[in-house]
Amino acid sequence: MSGNKQNEEDCSCYAKSRTPASCDIRNVTHPLRYYEFTQDEIKVLEECDKESFYRRCVPFSTLFATITYAAIKYGFLNRNPHFGVVPKVIMAAFLGHVYGRLTYLSTCDAKLRELPKNSHLGNVMRQYYLEHNPPPDPNKKR
């Protein structure tokens, strides 16, 4: 009897269409596989994507590619004998893009934490933030 009750509790993470009889088969997909984002969540995620691209990726890609091209032109880096400056400049632009996305993560994280209280994504982000950045203890002396 207790084993059956345990199976019912394990089913809570599955889609509601599952029956307790099918709980013996473990779901190998992510529990949020069928999660539908709210309009607010979609808006914030699209905003994060656009802002990170235009405010960070484009400037850093341009800067890294320009510096790499100048370094090759003035002899600080060697050009590829077959392809010339192209591989290094493309790699620098790609690294600038990645660096731009990474530097915008904290800003996007803050925007997601500002989602309304009824947002599952906002609640998950707030909970994660509090777990990894606990508020300072007022009783603790420095």
Structure tokens of 79? Answer: 């050009």
Query: pLDDT tens-digit profile of 58-96?
Result: 999 999 999 999 999 999 999 989 999 999 999 999 999
Res. 29: pLDDT tops 90: no
Select, from the ranges 4-18, 20-34, 118-132, the one with the highest average predicted confidence (pLDDT).
118-132
Taking the alpha carbons of 92, 111, 125, 29 in that order, is the dihedral positive or negative?
negative
Q: Is residue 104 within 8 Å of residue 47, measured between CB atoms?
A: no
pTM for the whole structure: 0.69
User: Helices 58-73 and 86-113, interaxial angle, to 10°?
Assistant: 160
Share above pLDDT 90 across residues of the chain, in percent, rounded to a whole number = 56
Say how many CA atoms lie within 13 Å of 109 toward its Cβ. 14
How far is it, in rounded angstroms, from Cα 72 to Cα 70?
A: 5
Mean pLDDT across the stretch 35-44? 90
Q: How many CB atoms lie within 10 A of CB 35?
A: 10
Res. 112: pLDDT tops 50: yes
The residue ranges of every structural domain in the chain are: 1-35, 39-132
Residue 26 is predicted with a pLDDT of 58
Residue 5 is predicted with a pLDDT of 47
Strand partners, 26: none
Say how many CA atoms lie within 13 Å of 33 toward its Cβ. 9
How far is it, in rounded angstroms, from Cα 83 to Cα 91?
A: 13
Strand partners, 84: 80
Q: How many CB atoms lie within 10 A of CB 44?
A: 20
How far is it, in rounded angstroms, from Cα 52 to Cα 67?
A: 21
